[in-house]
Chain A
């Protein structure tokens, strides 16, 4: 990820939702559950199946690619960030081939997004902790942009 201190340890904004690969060039995956009885896949993880009420759910990783279902561009600062982010940010819902529809922040400029376009997960640095760790959140970016990077 450009502009981030390459040596800093990356920590999630909240544990249990996405992987943080050792290799910064590798896309993260989402931490999901699959029902051992009926096969339904859920994100985020859960311990019981909504379709068949089984408790035998296995932890799996899904993504990093999907299709953009809908999107918007927000023109006010993101909650929990500083004024430097006042330029705005994209938000979208991405359908993963495994089943779940995932809502997340989008990386890119206003006008970069079209419904139906392929998307890929990445990690974004939100801020640094006092210990110097980099706090990251997952977001999606258009796959074409991912290929260029």
Chain B
């Protein structure tokens, strides 16, 4: 969907990590107030809210919104697995674009560490999911993708290690990142970490963590009236697609989903936004496992098919490279609590486009892409631009 007049008014987040002593309400409250303060507004100004979480209790989003006020505003809950945060953001943008409201809020939160603890006893399985496909852990099915890539393209595990090391090192520059290594991480260290699912090692996988993040969007007139000190950031377009059937489709088991899903979704977003991959300054992708990021270089059109390994070898996606990917550390280092992950991508996109990213600032960053896949069954891509 193309947006004609939607701007990001404010962003806020809680550093991702293991927040054992803090409730999900506290985390969500901190991120929400940070975004409201960044926007310079209160809940009185917000016309509609979308909360994103994967595993929490029914109505939790509506209960948490009461922390900011009780104004009668409509509150809806969005869930799309790993893509949840970006889809909540998309819904907020659609609410503004449609004219339903002038200002909308997207708030994501999650305590994934509590879910993971439960998962040690049995598979983390929701009602309605088959027991038969719950025995395999997520790393396995992304490893299947990596093995196929290695078979077809001669990709080596160190290509994946290079990407992981890059994201660990980007995370070290981000105060909101879960993993902030004190020394530079090398691909050798990544390869030497414990093997999880061949060829993925522990340091190529995202951590389990908790967190919250929030973004507030508004019509341009509202943004101008409030007179923000920040550079204005426009949301150009958002695309969301589910799977398309092709013969040989894998239905059973936790699966990656067809690779074409990311290609098709990105193509739709580019067409709607009127920009192409050549226009991107920065990109944020679903690097829950390092081999995914390599595939997305091609599927997002940042390089030609078969050239992703060269992109890695030449360091094109590091800070300082041609097009930095996951400047905030990505899912691997910034973290991946679930519900708030996409809103952390928006937080970093906006911080970069405003020119406020400090030591990890990409000079002159103008166009950002945020991408997530969810549950192997959906993909979403947003495009943002500094005006």
Q: Are B196 and A76 in contact (CB under 8 A)?
A: yes
Q: Are A81 and B135 in contact (CB under 8 A)?
A: yes
B245 to chain A: which residues have CB within 8 Å?
Answer: 50-51
Which residues does chain A contribute within 8 Å of B195, judged by CB atoms? 75
The answer for the CA separation of A6 and B125 in the assembled complex, in Å, is 31
Total number of A residues with any Cβ neighbor in B under 8 Å: 38
Q: Which residues on the A side are within 8 Å of B131 (C-beta)?
A: 13-14
User: Cβ of B141 < 8 Å from any Cβ of A?
Assistant: yes
Could you say which residues of chain A place their CB within 8 Å of the CB of B136?
A: 74, 78-79, 91, 103, 105
Q: Does B356 contact A (CB under 8 A)?
A: no
B198 near A73 with CB under 8 A, answer: yes
Measured CB to CB, the nearest residue on chain A to B255 is A103
Contact call A40/B250, Cβ cutoff below 8 A = no
Cβ-neighbour of A101 out of B119, B130, B199, B249 (below 8 A): B249
Flag whether B76 is at the interface (Cβ < 8 A).
no
A70 to B195 CA separation, bound complex (whole angstroms): 18
Q: State the CA gap A35–B248 with chains docked (Å).
A: 15
Task: Give the chain A neighbours of B197 by CB distance below 8 A.
Answer: 72-75, 91
With A81-B135, A101-B250, A103-B250: A75-B194 Cβ-Cβ less than 8 Å: yes
Question: Which residues 6-25 of A sit at the B interface, judged by CB distance below 8 A?
Answer: 12-14, 17
State the main secondary structure of chain B at its contact with A. Answer: loop
Asked if residues A74 and B148 are in contact (CB atoms below 8 Å), the reply is: no
Q: Separation in Å of the A139 CB from the closest CB of chain B?
A: 10
Q: Does A120 contact B (CB under 8 A)?
A: no
CB-based contact A72/B132 at 8 Å:
no
A64 within 8 A of B: no
- Interface residue B190 (Cβ < 8 Å from any Cβ of A): no
Q: A115, B148: Cβ atoms under 8 Å?
A: yes
Q: A17-B252, A75-B195, A80-B123 are in contact. Are A40 and B145 (CB under 8 A)?
A: no
C-alpha gap A72/B204 in the complex (Å): 15
30 A–B contacts, CB within 8 A, in A order: A14-B132, A40-B247, A69-B148, A70-B144, A70-B147, A71-B144, A72-B144, A72-B146, A72-B197, A72-B200, A73-B197, A74-B136, A74-B196, A76-B137, A78-B136, A78-B137, A79-B123, A79-B137, A80-B123, A80-B134, A80-B135, A81-B135, A91-B144, A99-B248, A100-B249, A101-B249, A103-B250, A103-B255, A110-B198, A115-B151
**B139 contacts A by Cβ under 8 Å:** yes
In whole Å, how far is B297's beta carbon from the nearest beta carbon of chain A?
20
Query: In residues 36-68 of chain A, which contact B (Cβ within 8 Å)?
Result: 40, 42-44, 50-51
Which B residues from 206 to 260 make CB contacts under 8 A with A?
245, 247-253, 255
Judged by a CB distance under 8 angstroms, whether B140 is at the interface is yes
A71 — nearest CB in chain B belongs to which residue?
B147
Q: Does A107 contact B (CB under 8 A)?
A: no
Chain B residues whose C-beta falls within 8 Å of the C-beta of A137 in the assembled complex: 132, 135
Q: B141: which A residues are within 8 A, CB to CB?
A: 91, 103
In the complex, the answer to whether B135 meets A99 with C-beta atoms within 8 Å is no
Compute how far the CA of A129 lies from the CA of B197 in the bound complex, rounded to whole angstroms: 30
B147 and A102: CB pair below 8 A? no
